[in-house]
Amino acid sequence: MKQIKGPGIFLAQFASDDSPFNSFPEICAWAAGLGFKGIQIPSWDGRLFNLKKAASSQDYCDEIKGIASQAGLEITELSTHLQGQLIAVNPAYDQMFDGFAPTQVHNNPKARTDWAIQQMMYAAKASQRLGLTGHATFSGALLWQTIYPWPQRPAGLVEQGFKELAKRWLPILNAFDEAGVDLCYELHPGEDLHDGVTFERFLEAVDNHPRANILYDPSHFVLQQLDYLAFIDIYHERIKAFHVKDAEFNPNGRSGVYGGYQDWIDRPGRFRSLGDGQIDFKAIFSKMMQYDFDGWAVMEWECCIKHPEDGAAEGAKFISDHIIRPTEKAFDDFAGVEKDVEMNNKILGIK
């Protein structure tokens, strides 16, 4: 068995205009001070990282790695969640998602998509220059507004949607393959890839591309009421990244999975700081070990109750306490006997 790396932290929810969260050296020192050993970098946040520069400059990438290393940290993955979202946007969401892109492509869906594709190409090259093997992203969505089957979907709609999604992602997947980096889709409500079935549809549409993989985040499965442990059994060969995020689902007589358009604090399904939710992380870490996952366990904080800095401080210890050192021997080795073909034949009744 292999050992999971960690603890890591996704910096997206912590970056701000205030020190120590507004510069890469300072936020690295802050994360290391809490006990984190790895950082996942939001590639869109110019206060911390310049994606375009990283794609073209090995010196810049070496500088970024050096700053992290000086703080005692490794870079776990780059993230393009916002750019990945823009690879596929249904017109119903044009205005709401324009904010993820620079102003020069607002109100121009084609230009916005082209910008997002270029960003992903930069991310492949930047990940290669940084020596990374995995990358975190979203798939985007053309079909999400049809998630509930009323009105009835026209025949062939889902198949056409995944065919188009695959068409947009295949050149990007090929670029990541050339870079030697796994593209890990976070399966997330709002994305066309949001559960196992939709991932399978996409995988079929991209002809089982070897770089089409999964960022496993059990919190999204709790909110969907999907078995997050059985998911690992089914898809472990494609799980190449791991977000450690807690959640809870408390249905009541007024609302359930859909949440009634309520704010996060009032929804039956909501994200929580590590240890405050319902997820069985002991079982998750055990299963991930069972299937030889040796990537990073990266904390993502999205709690609607606890202060983020408290969640981060508690999260570093929480992950450390759940990382299992693999055993090097079987518990019953003391009772074992040497291989003896003749004895085995006698036991089996073979002459």
Helix (H) or strand (E) holding 162: helix 157-179
SS (H, E, C) 213-228: EEEECHHHHHHHCCCH
SS (H, E, C) 2-55: CCCEEEEEECCCCCCCCCCCCCHHHHHHHHHHCCCCEEEEECCCCCCCCHHHHH
Residue with tokens 């006990």: 35
pLDDT band at 194 (very low <50, low <70, confident <90, very high): very high
Cis, bond preceding 109 (omega within 30 deg of 0) = no
Report the share of the chain in percent with pLDDT over 90. Answer: 93
Q: What's the pLDDT score for residue 332?
A: 74
* 194, HSE (Cβ side, Cα atoms, 13 Å): 17
The CA distance from 204 to 193, in Å, is: 13
Burial class of 341 by CB neighbour count within 10 A (0 to 12, 13 to 18, 19+): exposed
Across 10-27, average pLDDT: 98
pTM, full prediction: 0.96
Residue with tokens 């606890």: 306
* Residue 212 clears pLDDT 90, i.e. is over it: yes
Provide the token pair at 332. 């019953």
Across 114-119, average pLDDT: 98
* Residue 104 clears pLDDT 80, i.e. is over it: yes
Across 154-161, average pLDDT: 98
Which range is least confidently modeled, 126-140, 316-330, 333-347? 333-347
Q: What's the pLDDT score for residue 330?
A: 79
Q: What's the pLDDT score for residue 249?
A: 98
If we measure between CA atoms, which residue out of 101, 94, 59, 54 comes closest to residue 78? 54
The CA distance from 69 to 71, in Å, is: 5
Across 177-198, average pLDDT: 98
The CA distance from 300 to 312, in Å, is: 9
Q: What's the pLDDT score for residue 203?
A: 98
**Domain chopping of the chain, boundaries:** 5-348
| DSSP, res 154 | P
Q: What's the pLDDT score for residue 334?
A: 72
Across 152-172, average pLDDT: 98
Q: What's the pLDDT score for residue 152?
A: 97
Q: Is CATH 3.20.20.150 the right assignment for the domain spanning 5-348?
A: yes
The H helix count followed by the E strand count for the chain is 13, 10
Q: How does pLDDT run across 25-54, given as a tens digit for each residue?
A: 999 999 999 999 999 999 999 999 999 999
Tell me how far the alpha carbon of residue 293 is from its chain's centroid: 14
Neighbours of 335 (CB within 10 A): 7
Q: How does pLDDT run across 283-337, given as a tens digit for each residue?
A: 999 999 999 999 999 999 999 999 999 999 999 999 999 999 998 887 777 777 7
Whole-number mean pLDDT of the chain?
97
Across 184-205, average pLDDT: 98
Q: What's the pLDDT score for residue 198?
A: 98
pLDDT band at 175 (very low <50, low <70, confident <90, very high): very high
Q: How does pLDDT run across 234-287, given as a tens digit for each residue?
A: 999 999 999 999 999 999 999 999 999 999 999 999 999 999 999 999 999 999
Q: What's the pLDDT score for residue 346?
A: 87
| Residues 182 and 134 sit within 8 Å (Cβ to Cβ) | yes
First CA to last CA distance, the chain: 37
φ, ψ for residue 30 (rounded to 5)? -60, -50
Residue with tokens 């121009």: 108
